[in-house]
């Protein structure tokens, strides 16, 4: 009788599940990929200009606007009214946006012009199913 009472669902008393003290919230991709939700935006990639960095047509990019760009970062910027994803370079030759595909030209930011920076790419989500 007593062993039956222990497994009854309606009885709350008894021994707690040994797993209880190890319970944790499930893994959350937002927590992993979005450090600052207020400053984070998602954008969709069109084309192959950054294929060498593993960024493919149709991929989803996680962009954090709160981060300042450093030379070598993959960033989103606006050039002539269009948003583009490129590698940001800043050195003695000035500021430029480099594609990761030899078929695309390097975009030189003219001296005296300010780069219209949108944000830094922190992750690329490439889906194999359900694009």
Partner 1 sequence: MIGLVDVNNCFVSCERVFNRSLVGRPVAVLSNNDGCCVARSNEFKALGIAMGTPYFQLKNREKSGELVFCSSNYELYGDMSRRLISILREEALDVEQYSIDEAFICPPIPADKVRGNREEGREEIAAWLLDYGKRLRAKILRWIGLPCGIGFAPTKTLAKIADHIAKKRPEGVFVLPDDPTDILASLPADEVWGVGRRLVVKLRAEQIFTAKDLRDAPDDVIRSVGGVVLLRTALELRGVPSNEDKDYDADPDSVSCSRSFGEPVTTLDGLAESLASFTAQAATKLRKHSLLAAGCNVYAQIFHSGGGGDFLGRTVMFPTPTDATNEMLKAIREEVDALFIPGTRYRKTGVVFFGLEKVGTARQLDLFSPVEKSEASPLYKAIDSLNKRYGKGKVFSAAEGLGERSWKMKRTKLSKRPTTRWDELMTVR
Closest CB to partner 1 among residues 29, 83? 83
Residue 35 known to be catalytic: no
Residue 71 in the binding site for partner 1 (CB under 8 A): no
Closest CB to partner 1 among residues 76, 95? 76
Give the phi and the psi of residue 45 in degrees, each rounded to 5: -85, 140
DSSP character at residue 65: T
| Nearest-angstrom CA–CA distance, 4 and 59 | 55
**Among 33, 51, 60, 115, contact with partner 1 (rule: CB under 8 A):** 60
74-79 sheet: strands from edge to edge? 60-64, 116-125, 74-79, 82-91, 94-98, 107-109
**Among 12, 19, 38, 129, contact with partner 1 (rule: CB under 8 A):** 38
Collect all residues with Cβ–Cβ distance below 8 Å to 41 and sequence separation of at least 6: 63, 65, 119
**Among 76, 95, 97, 109, contact with partner 1 (rule: CB under 8 A):** 76
**Among 83, 105, 106, 113, contact with partner 1 (rule: CB under 8 A):** 83
Determine which one of 86, 92, 110, 120 is catalytic.
86
Which tokens is 6 given? 């222990």
Which tokens is 22 given? 């190890």
**Interaction site with partner 1 (CB under 8 A):** 36-39, 41-47, 49, 60-61, 65-66, 76, 78, 81-85, 116, 118
């Amino acid at each position: 009788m007593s062993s039956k009472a222990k497994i009854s669902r309606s009885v709350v008393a008894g021994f707690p599940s040994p797993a209880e003290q190890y319970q944790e919230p499930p893994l959350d991709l937002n927590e992993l990929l979005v450090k600052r939700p207020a400053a984070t935006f998602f954008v969709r990639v069109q084309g192959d200009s950054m294929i060498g960095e593993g960024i493919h047509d149709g991929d989803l990019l996680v962009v954090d606007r709160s981060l300042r760009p450093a030379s070598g970062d993959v960033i989103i910027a606006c050039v002539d009214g269009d948003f583009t994803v490129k590698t940001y370079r800043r050195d003695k030759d000035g500021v430029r946006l480099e594609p990761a595909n030899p078929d695309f030209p390097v975009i030189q930011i003219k001296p005296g012009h300010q780069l219209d920076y949108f944000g830094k790419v922190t992750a690329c989500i490439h889906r194999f199913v359900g694009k």
